[in-house]
Amino acid sequence: MGETDRTPVAILINGESVSCLAGDTLLTAILLNGRFLRHSEFGDGPRAGFCNMGACQDCWLTLASGERIRACTTEVRDGMVVLTREAR
């Protein structure tokens, strides 16, 4: 019950509504909804985070407010509006 007993949270990713659970990191919410964070600047495809603990620079995203955040260490908040770097 532990995982399904958490409060649902609604966020927007690139304008699309996404459901996740309280306590999820933004990286978890993005990956569980079939997305990736961005394309590699070196041309080797989509990126989905690297260290998953806030030590590298691979998962920086921007909120609609302009605030930059790390997807791997930021918990989702209801109503969060996220802009990824999916598009080239």
The CB-side HSE value for 17 (13 A sphere, CA atoms) comes to 5
- Encoding tokens for residue 22? 């309280």
Determine the Cα angle at 6 with ends 3 and 26, to 5°.
85
Tell me the CATH number for domain 8-83.
3.10.20.440
User: In the prediction, which pLDDT does 70 show?
Assistant: 92
User: In the prediction, which pLDDT does 42 show?
Assistant: 74
Q: Report which of 51, 48, 53 is spatially closest to residue 33, judged by C-alpha positions.
A: 48
Q: Report which of 6, 34, 40, 31 is spatially closest to residue 21, judged by C-alpha positions.
A: 6
pTM of the model: 0.81
User: In the prediction, which pLDDT does 48 show?
Assistant: 78
